[in-house]
Structure 1
Amino acid sequence: MTVRMGQLMHVYADQYAEYERRHNNLFPEMKRALKEAGAHNYSIFLDKKTGNLFAYLEVDNVEKYNDIANSEACKKWWAYMESIMDTNPDKSPVSFDLHEVFHLD
């Protein structure tokens, strides 16, 4: 069963282009880790007025996907992104999970 997920994050105003550049050059090991965790149909959208990011992705299994946080690839990516966005003490992005209230198939 596919689960749709939405999250909010924040990138610093002077880092919009850098954020996009880094994602256009996603580390191969991070891309592989995402695929192995069952993530697909993954997009991130930027509101250039506020720096808010909206991430949408679909996963096959939420628990399996959440385990990606323990991977070396993910930890490396978080460290790489830490200087350009709001992060937690463990360098993970500050993110807020959204509750889906409507979906049109």
Structure 2
Amino acid sequence: MKQVAFTMKLLPGNEAEYEKRHREIWPELAALLREAGIAEYHIFLDESSGTLFAFQNLQDDSTGTDHLPETAIMKKWWAYMADLMETHADHSPKVVPLRNVFSL
């Protein structure tokens, strides 16, 4: 599996709402992510800093995630989440890619 990890930043006081919205993720968005080759997607919160750590396992042959930012449902989700986290002008989350330095 290909692995991807990154961080994002949650705005203070939005922890419960962020979790709620993800518990209620839209079925069409979940389907799109799976179709794009995301086999697993985990998001963890460092409550002391508001840093969100995201980790994805992608199918080995997956290149389908490249098109996700262009889809209408992804843009709609970003707009829905924009009031909770740091985003760019287009509402896409500010993402910091992480480099794998150790695996066991």
Length-normalised TM-score, structure 2: 0.94
Listed as ranges, the matches of 1:1-105 within 5 Å are 2-60=1-59, 61=61, 63-104=63-104
Query: Using the alignment, how far apart are the partners of 1:17 and 1:95 within structure 2?
Result: 21
Query: Using the alignment, how far apart are the partners of 2:17 and 2:66 within structure 1?
Result: 26
Percent identity over paired residues: 37
**TM-superposition CA deviations, 1:42-72 (whole Å, max 9, x none):** 1000011110000000112563212111111
Report which stretch shifted further, 63-72 or 28-37: 63-72
| Partner secondary structure for residue 9 of structure 1 | strand
Query: Using the alignment, how far apart are the partners of 1:59 and 1:49 within structure 2?
Result: 29
Letter of the 2:30 partner, please give it.
Answer: K
Structure 2: gaps of 5 or more residues: none
Length-normalised TM-score, structure 1: 0.93
The alignment of Structure 1 onto Structure 2 pairs a total of residues equal to: 103
| Partner secondary structure for residue 45 of structure 2 | strand
**Structure with the larger helix share:** 1
**TM-superposition CA deviations, 1:15-57 (whole Å, max 9, x none):** 0000000000001111011001000221000011110000000
Letter of the 1:97 partner, please give it.
Answer: P
Query: Using the alignment, how far apart are the partners of 2:76 and 2:27 within structure 1?
Result: 12
Is the CA contact (8 Å cut-off) linking 2:36 and 2:63 kept in structure 1? Answer: no
Structure 1: gaps of 5 or more residues: none
